[in-house]
């Protein structure tokens, strides 16, 4: 009885997370529309940096892969940060691409489950933070995260405290 309850709960959680992943993927495809503000050439990938046309006061930065092409999408709020902080956020997102985080749906699903089911910082966020720190500094990333953490998100606060 307990085993079937656990299996049912886990199955429900997996279906919820997969549904959320599909919703997020569709939303990201729509947000990729905007002005290309730069292109970053990595060893084996080209990344287009897009300033989204979505107007909002909420800081927005994410990396995504659409039809085999890699993008980092940012908004004006990120661009208005001091340059070193903007670069730290940008390099964090580029880190997700360079480290292969977008190439595995399993990795993304595990990240989303870990993010919602535990109080720990997801592994891929730690790795992307480390990538950004190698190209900027811990101070720059910490200040950038503090600047954009407008709603005191628990995960972001934990990341700030871990730097």
13-37 tens-digit pLDDT:
445 444 444 444 444 555 556 788 8
User: Residue 38: is its pLDDT beyond 80?
Assistant: yes
Given pLDDT bands bounded at 50, 70 and 90, which one contains residue 122? confident
How high is the pLDDT of residue 118?
A: 66
Of residues 72 and 111, more confidence is placed in 72
Residue 91: which domain range?
2-162
SS3 sequence of the chain: CHHHHHHHHHHHHHHHHHHHHHHHHHHHHHHCCEEEEEEEECCCCEEEEEEECCCCCCCCEEEEEECCEEEEEECHHHHCCCHHHHHHHHHHHHHHHHCCHHHCHHHHHHHHHHHHHCCCCCHHHHHHHHHHHHHCCHHHHHHHHHHHCCCCCHHHHHHHHHC
Q: How many domains does the chain have?
A: 1
User: Residue 137: is its pLDDT beyond 90?
Assistant: yes
What is the percentage of the chain residues whose pLDDT exceeds 90? 31
How high is the pLDDT of residue 22?
A: 45
User: Residue 133: is its pLDDT beyond 90?
Assistant: yes
């Amino acid at each position: 009885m307990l085993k079937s309850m656990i299996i049912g709960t886990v199955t429900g959680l997996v279906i919820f997370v997969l549904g959320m992943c599909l919703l997020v993927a569709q939303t990201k495809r729509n947000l990729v529309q905007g002005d290309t503000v730069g292109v970053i050439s990595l060893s084996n990938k080209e990344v287009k940096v897009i300033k989204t046309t979505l107007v909002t006061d909420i800081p927005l930065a994410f990396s995504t892969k659409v039809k085999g092409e890699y993008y980092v999408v940012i908004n004006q709020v990120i661009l208005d940060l001091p340059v070193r902080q903007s670069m730290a956020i940008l390099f964090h997102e580029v880190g997700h691409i360079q480290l292969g985080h977008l190439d595995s749906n399993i990795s993304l699903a595990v990240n989303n489950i870990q993010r919602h089911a535990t109080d720990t910082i997801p592994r891929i966020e730690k790795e992307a933070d480390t990538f950004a720190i190698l190209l900027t500094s811990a101070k720059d990333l910490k200040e950038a995260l503090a600047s954009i953490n407008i709603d005191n998100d628990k995960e972001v606060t934990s990341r700030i405290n871990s730097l």
